[in-house]
């Protein structure tokens, strides 16, 4: 089919407060994933493979680290003269408004640019999920059903109350929408991928702004408006999908990568691409033990590493033990230290020869080496094998 003129908006400005210290100094889409990738690589790569080449990244919170990684779109062939990647920085409106107060507000701030670009469709994505999808299939569903909005949905096994819960009829038409409900009706949730007909989106933004004065998050205003006033259909994603909005889900996604139960980042037909650092391969010293783990470039392992993800430039000294853990860039684990079910933030220097972490929780160690309150496992969530 002929691809409609499609503009992709990646909302990459959220703070990600549920990730605690991991997002104190960096925006959530810049978080490392799988050792050498960044979370935004997932959205960018899925768009590239889907032949969508007009991509705008809307920023607000701590944009610098993300801008460095985006590298003008080069890893995804988006550094081009016409179209390609455009980074939209945060700004205050000329009418005296402050910074955007939610993702609907962020889209509203760009309405004039969207109107000038004149797309047929606007694809709105969050940049904090792990998944694989061909967006051309979503476009096909949207066009076939003559929808004003197509929501990509998925089924979760865990408690769905922290998501947007969707109800649909047997034809796939969305007939109900609950934003983070106390009593969810079903386990079908919105996967934070929304394809709008551009005219309908611009109309909705204007109507809602006129009615309410200021927009908030689209779960509060924009999406319910479409469900009540326009034709909304769902496109079901049957493959892997994970929201990395909590410490447990971030840790779980990494353990699932190790268990081959999670996202696939190295499919030769659909690889996740990234601006990876130019470093020597990871080195495993004589006498070290490494089992069932991912070891990134520039790392040096002299101790024991089991079922863990080791980021670039990370050092595990002789006599140290790392189990079921995720160590981000530049972490140092000193002699005698034992880590179990730990996430260690960028640059953490962990010394002192004692154990951090327990078998029944995820423990966060921040960039200063300080241990934060452990997050107990939620057994209603999908956990990796053996937990």
Which pLDDT tens digit goes with each residue over 76-118? 877 776 778 888 876 665 454 656 667 888 898 899 999 999 9
Residue with tokens 């956990």: 383
Q: Residue 176 forms beta bridges with which residues?
A: 167
So what's the pLDDT on residue 362? Answer: 94
User: Distance (Å, rounded) from C-alpha 141 to C-alpha 124?
Assistant: 16
Question: Which CATH class for the 6-258 domain?
Answer: alpha beta
Q: Residue 242 forms beta bridges with which residues?
A: 130
Dihedral of alpha carbons 128, 129, 134, 137, sign = negative
Among residues 323, 362, 330, the alpha carbon closest in space to that of 349 is found at: 330
So what's the pLDDT on residue 313? Answer: 96
Burial class of 360 by CB neighbour count within 10 A (0 to 12, 13 to 18, 19+)? exposed
How would you label 233-260 residue by residue, b for 16+ Cβ within 10 Å and e otherwise? bbbebeeebbbbbbbbbbbbbbbbbbee
**What predicted TM-score, i.e. pTM, was given to this entire model?**
0.91
So what's the pLDDT on residue 323? Answer: 97
Distances (CA, A) of 76 to 41, 66, 85, 205, 341: 9, 15, 9, 30, 33
So what's the pLDDT on residue 13? Answer: 67
Return the half-sphere exposure (C-beta side, CA atoms, 13 A cut-off) of residue 333: 37
Q: Which positions of the chain have pLDDT values less than 50?
A: 94, 96
Name the architecture of domain 283-376.
3 Solenoid (2.160)
Domain boundaries, the chain: 6-258, 283-376
User: Distance (Å, rounded) from C-alpha 4 to C-alpha 221?
Assistant: 26
The distance in angstroms from the start CA to the end CA of the chain is: 46
The DSSP symbol for 173 reads: B
């Amino acid at each position: 089919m002929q691809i409609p003129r499609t503009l992709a908006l990646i909302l990459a400005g959220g703070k990600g407060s549920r990730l605690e210290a991991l997002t104190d100094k960096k925006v959530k889409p810049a978080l490392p994933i799988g050792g050498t990738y960044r979370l935004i690589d997932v959205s960018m790569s899925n768009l590239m493979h889907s032949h969508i080449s007009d991509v705008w990244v809307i920023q607000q919170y701590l944009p610098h680290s993300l801008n460095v990684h985006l590298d003008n779109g080069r890893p995804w062939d988006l550094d081009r003269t016409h179209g390609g990647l455009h980074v939209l920085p945060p700004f205050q409106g000329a009418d005296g408004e402050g910074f955007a107060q939610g993702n609907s507000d962020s889209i509203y701030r760009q309405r004039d640019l969207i109107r000038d670009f004149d797309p047929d469709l606007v694809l709105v994505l969050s940049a904090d999920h792990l998944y694989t999808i061909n967006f051309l299939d979503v476009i096909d569903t949207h066009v076939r059903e003559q929808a004003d909005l197509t929501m990509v949905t998925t089924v979760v096994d865990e408690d769905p109350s922290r998501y947007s819960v969707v109800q649909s009829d047997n034809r796939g038409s969305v007939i109900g929408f609950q934003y983070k409900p106390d009593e969810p009706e079903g386990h079908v949730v919105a996967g934070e991928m929304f394809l709008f007909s551009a005219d309908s989106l611009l109309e909705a933004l204007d109507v809602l702004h006129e009615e309410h004065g200021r927009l908030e998050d689209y779960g509060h205003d924009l999406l319910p408006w479409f469900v009540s006033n326009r034709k909304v259909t769902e496109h079901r994603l049957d493959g892997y999908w994970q929201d990395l909005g909590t410490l447990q889900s971030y840790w779980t996604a990494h353990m699932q990568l190790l268990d081959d139960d999670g996202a696939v980042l190295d499919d030769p037909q659909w690889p996740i691409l990234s601006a990876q650092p130019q470093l020597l391969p990871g080195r495993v010293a004589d006498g070290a033990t490494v089992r069932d783990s991912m070891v990134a470039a520039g790392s040096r392992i002299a101790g024991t590493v089991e079922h863990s993800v080791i980021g670039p430039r990370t050092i595990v000294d002789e006599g140290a033990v790392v189990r079921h853990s995720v160590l981000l860039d530049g972490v140092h684990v000193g002699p005698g230290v034992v880590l179990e079910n730990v996430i260690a933030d960028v640059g953490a220097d962990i010394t002192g020869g004692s154990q951090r972490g327990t078998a029944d929780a995820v423990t966060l160690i921040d960039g200063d080496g300080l241990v934060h309150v452990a997050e107990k496992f939620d057994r209603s969530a999908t956990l990796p094998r053996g937990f």
